[in-house]
Structure formats: structure tokens, C-alpha cells
Structure 1
Amino acid sequence: MCYSAQIWAHYRDFIRQFGAILDLPQFVDVFWHRRSNPKIKIPRAVEASFETPESEPAQQVKTWIDEFRAAQATGWEQELFKQKKRLADAERRLQTKTTKAALEAQRIATAKIEWLRGKLADLGRRDVQDQDARIFPGHYAPVMVAEGGRRVVKLMRYQCRPAGKLAAYDTKFPGTYNARRDNLEGYWKPLFGYSHGLMVVNAFYENVSGVRADGTTENVVLEFRPQPPQDMLVACLWSRWEDRATGEVLYSFAAITDEPPPEVAAAGHDRCIVPIQPQHIDAWLNPDPTDMAAQYAILDDRPRPYYEHRLAA
């Protein structure tokens, strides 16, 4: 399963290259809800799209981003103060008597202080790095869909909650960030042939089992990048979910996966995302539910780069 990916995060890239339009009110809605729900994870590279706002709604998003980061900084600074006190107390106890509890408190506090200092320092940087465009299940990413005869970019959560399902569906089925090709007319039947989208990525990441020198196994994360380097139009399914009681709306998506090419299989993983050819964009985004063969043909006529891998940083 594709558990993480390096995405196109700047909506202007979609506008410039694909002639898409931005669903700005929908972006605004997501950022507004994050003010009271820190579980909404938006990559920093997506936030960077609003660094130089060009409209009043975009300026409002920028204000909310600044407020969110200020709240993060305050919380981390308060926690840093607590851990410094914890470390000082532990070291004071160790001066008189070495105990297991004091040593453990010293170890934990030291590690947390280092982590918090790193987070605070990172929060203050202005440049956008590759890591800022990486998403994981539950994170939000720009996804291109068709709406009203136009290509439209929406901000969607990478874990699909189909319309009509309870919110608890996310916990019960945590793997719904990927949609297996061999199950598109089974589990994913309500969406396949109806709600298709595209996410643009230039790398993806997988958990695989590695072998240590002593012969035991360990979990490692591999980064796969297409060679030659290229941006891939990853086929997705998406859904618009609404809570009828509160009016809350959630847009979410899943990336379609299929059997892996030989080099991905040899690296230890049994699935791979499915990129489509640029000439199929509109046919994919505007599917005919009476012609499933055409949809499968698009998935089969995929680019087939060589996926070079390395240990993820």
C-alpha cells in the first residue's frame, strides 16, 4: 500500500499546467475547521500556497495559518518549560542518589527537550523543503477533479470516507487511503466510474521488511522515485461526505494501487500506485459508469518508469 507520497502541494501548479481552477471556498472551509480541530493535518507546502495571498479569502487563510503556528509555538514552549523542570529535578535527585526512576526521568526529559527545540526551530524557518510536501494517511492534499465541465482543485483528506458512512468508519477501516484495482467493482463500486480524481506526486514511500546483519528482520521505509524523474498523475477515487446533523463536509480520497512492477516487488513491496497518461486526464475525470472497460483501459495504459529506491531519510 502507498502509505506516503511526495505531492504537488501548490495549487498554482495545477492552474498553470492543467488549466484548473481553485475551489477557494472549500480550501477556506478546511482551514477554518482546523482552528478548532488539530487532527486536521495540512502539509506545510500546502500552507505555503497562501504565503502571498491575492484575495480577501486567501488573506483570511493566511491569518489562520499564522494563528495556528503561534498556538503550536506556545504549546511547545510550555511543554519545553515543563521538561526543563523535569530534567532539573531528576538531576538534582541523582546528585544525592542514583535511582532507576531518576535516570528514566532524565532520559525522557532530555529526549523531549531535544525534540521540542527541533520543532520550534523548524517552525521558524521560511523556506519550503521536500519534506514539507510529504503526506501520510489522514493528511490533506490538493486533488484535481471535474466539476461543471472544468478541472477543479480541492483540498482532500488522504483516507476516503464514502458518503453515507459513520465517522467511526475511519477507525474501523484505517486502510481506506488506498483502493485496490482488483476491488474497484467490489468495495469501491459506489465511487469507481463516478468520482475520479488525480493527485500529482514525484515520489512514494513504502514500509518493507529489511534484514539485519544478525538475520533478524526490521521494518524500514523505502523511497521510490521514477526514473527519469517526473511528476506522476496518480489515479484516485474521492467522495464528498456530509454530517446531516451539523452540516460538516469532508472531501476525502484514496489512491488506486495495483500489482507492482518487478523492481518494486524485488524491493519487498506488493503494491504500487497507478499513474495515468496526460492524454487521459479528461476521460478519467469524467468517467462513463456504463463503460467500465474504458476506465480499466486508462489504468492499463499507464506510464511505466523504473522506480529507483533508497532508504527514506
Structure 2
Amino acid sequence: MCYSAQVWADYHRYVRVYGAEIAIDVFYDLYVRRRQGEKLKTPKSMDLAFRGGQSQLESQISAMVRDIHAAEISDLERELFKQTKRLADATRSLLTKQTKKALEEQRIAGNKIEQMKGRLRNLQRVDDQPSDSRIYPGMYAPVMVWEDGKRVVKPMRYQCRAQGKPAINDRKFPGTYNARRDNLEGFWKSQFGRTQGLMVAERFYENVETPDGNAVLEFVPRTGEPMLIACLWSRWTDPKGEEPDLWSFAAITDEPEEEVAAAGHDRTIINIKPEHIDAWLNPEQGNLDALYAILDDKQHPYYEHRIAA
């Protein structure tokens, strides 16, 4: 399963390369909710893409991003102060008597301090690094879809909750950030052939069991070209009208490419060819054979791998 990927998080790239338009209102609503305190996760590259925005909404999103980051920095600084005091108290206690509790307090506080310092450095820097575009299940990422006769990019959560399903399904089925090809007409029948999208990524990551334990492998196309990852998506609306709409998606996976299987993983994302973009995004209703043909005609760039940093 593709549990993580380094994606095109900057919507400008979709405009330049694929001629897509941006659903700026959906981006705006997402950042309003974040500023109001909802625990919604976005990659930093997506946040920074709105700097110097040309439209009024882009400028407003940029201002909200600054507010969101400032609030996160403030929260981290308060927690850092608490953990620094916790570490100092444990260290003083150990000077008089070494106890298991004090040692554990010292260890936990020290680890948390290092983690928070790293998060602070990440929030405070303004340069864009490759890791800023990496997403995990539950995070939001730009997804290209078809709407009103054109390609459109919207932010969606990387874990699909199908319309009509209860919100508790997020916990009952935590693996719904991927959609198995052999289940497209089963679990995913409401999306397959109806609501299809593409996520553009440069590399993907998988957990693999090795003789030395679990390892995270990074897979990169040898060609260096971006991957057009076939996805399914849904717009979930709360039947009670109490929760905001949720745009979410899942990446389709298939039997592994040979080199991926040799590395120890049993699934691979489906990387479609550029000439199939519109036929995939705007499928002919009821013609599932045509969609399977697109999936069969996927790109095979050879995925080189290494242990992720």
C-alpha cells in the first residue's frame, strides 16, 4: 500500500503543466477551517504556494497560513517550556536519588524537546524543501479532477470516505487511502467509473519487513518523470448537516511491479500515461472496459528504491 508519497503540493505546477484551473474556493474553505482550530493537516509546500497570491482569495489564504503557523509556533513554545521544566525537575531529582520514575521522566522530556525543536525549525523556515511535499494518510493534497468540461485541482484528504457512509468508517477502515484494483467493482463501485482523479507524485514510500525489522523504502521512477497516480474520490456530505463537506480520495493500487516485489512489497500504485488523462478524469459512463484498458496500459518506468532517510 502507498502509505506516503512526495506529491506536487504547489497548485501552480498543475496550471503550468496540465492547464488545470484551481478550485480556489475549496482551498479557501479548507484554510478557514484550519484557522478556526480544526485539526486538518496540509503539507507545508501547499501552504507556501499561496505566498504572493495574485487574487484576493489567494492573498487571504496566505494571510491565514501566516496566522495558522504563528498559532502553531506559539503552542509549541508553550509546550517546549513545560517539557524543559519537566526535564529540569527530573534532572534535579536524579542528583539526590536515582529512581526509575525520574529516569523515565528525563528520557520522555528530552525526546519531546528534540521533537518540538525540530517542528519549530520546520515552521519557522521559509525555504521549500522536498520533504515539505510529502503526505501521509489523513493529510490533504491537491487532486486533479474533471468539472464543467475542464481539468480542476482541489484539495482532498488522503483517505477516502464515500458519500453515504458514516464518519466512523474512518476508524473502522483506516486503509481506505488505497483502493485495490481487484475491488473497484466491490467496495469502490460508487466511485469507479464516476468520480476519478489524479495525484501527481515524484516518489512513493512503503513499509517493508526486512531481516533486521521494518524499514521504509523510497521508490523513484528511474526516468525522473512525475507519476500520474490513478485515484478515486468522493464528496461526503453530513446527512445531519452538522459537519462540513469532506473531499477525500484514495490511490488505486495493483499487483506489484517486479522490482517492487523484489524489494519486499506486494502492491504498487497505478501510474497512467499522459495521453489517458482526460479519458480517466472524464470517463464514459458505464464503459468500465475502457477504464480497465487505461489501467492495463499504465507506465512502467522501473522504480528504483533505497531506504528512506
TM above 0.5, yes or no, is yes
Q: What SS does the corresponding residue of 1:269 show, helix, strand or coil?
A: coil
Segments of structure 2 that go 5 or more residues without pairing to the other structure are none
User: What secondary structure sits across from 2:141 in the alignment?
Assistant: strand
Q: Which secondary structure does the structure 2 equivalent of 1:14 belong to?
A: helix
Q: Deviations over 1:110-162 (max 9, x none)?
A: 22112222211221111111110001000101000000001000000010001
Q: 1:178: Cα distance to partner?
A: 0.5
Aligned residue type for 1:154: K
Distance 2:87 2:73 in 1: 21
Shift of 1:286: 0.7
CA distance in 1, matches of 2:135, 2:73: 22
For 1:38 and 1:130, the matched residues in 2 are separated by 26
Give yes or no for the alignment of 1:240 onto 2:235. yes
Matches of 1:257 and 1:161, distance apart in 2: 17
- 1:138 alignment counterpart: 138
Q: In the TM superposition, what is the alpha-carbon distance from 1:247 to its structure 2 partner?
A: 5.8
| 204, 223, 233: which one aligns with 2:218 | 223
Match of 1:53 in 2: 53
Q: Distance in 2 between matches of 1:85 and 1:52?
A: 40
Matching residue of 1:198: 198
Amino acid at match of 1:307: Y
**What does residue 251 of structure 2 align with?**
255
Give the C-alpha shift of residue 37 in structure 1.
Answer: 4.2
Identity across matched positions, percent: 56
Residue aligning to 1:215: none
Q: 1:80-119 to 2 correspondence within 5 Å?
A: 80-119=80-119
Scaled by the length of structure 2, the TM-score of the pair is 0.97
Give the partner amino acid of 1:180: R
* 1:285-304 → structure 2 map (5 Å cutoff): 285-304=281-300
What is the Cα deviation at residue 289 of structure 1?
2.6
The Cα offsets for residues 228-257 of structure 1, whole Å up to 9 and x where unpaired, read as 211011100000111132361111000010
Distance 1:253 1:190 in 2: 13
Offset of residue 262 of structure 1: 0.8
Q: In 2, distance between residues paired with 1:311 and 1:38?
A: 34
Give 1:305 deviation, angstroms.
0.8
SS state at 2:115 partner: helix
Q: Which is worse superposed, 183-192 or 119-128?
A: 119-128
User: What is the aligned partner in structure 1 of residue 165 from structure 2?
Assistant: 165
After superposition, give the CA deviation of every residue in 1:75-111 in whole Å (9 maximum; x if it has no partner).
1111111111111111211121111111111111122
- 2-side partners of 1:37 and 1:75: how far apart? 12
Correspondence for 2:210: 210
CA pair 44-189 structure 1, distance change in 2 beyond 3 A: same
Q: Deviations over 1:251-274 (max 9, x none)?
A: 100001000111100111000000
Corresponding residue to 2:303 among 285, 303, 307: 307
TM-score, length-scaled by structure 1: 0.96
- Measure, in 2, the Cα distance between the counterparts of 1:53 and 1:246: 32
The 2-side partners of 1:50 and 1:277 are apart by 29
Deviation at 1:64, TM superposition (A): 1.2
Looking at structure 2, the residues matched to 202 and 121 of structure 1 have their Cα atoms a distance apart, in angstroms, of: 25
* Structure 1 gap ranges (5+): 213-217
Residue-by-residue CA offset, 1:11-38 (whole Å, 9 max, x unaligned)? 1111111111000001101111112344
Q: Distance in 2 between matches of 1:94 and 1:201?
A: 49
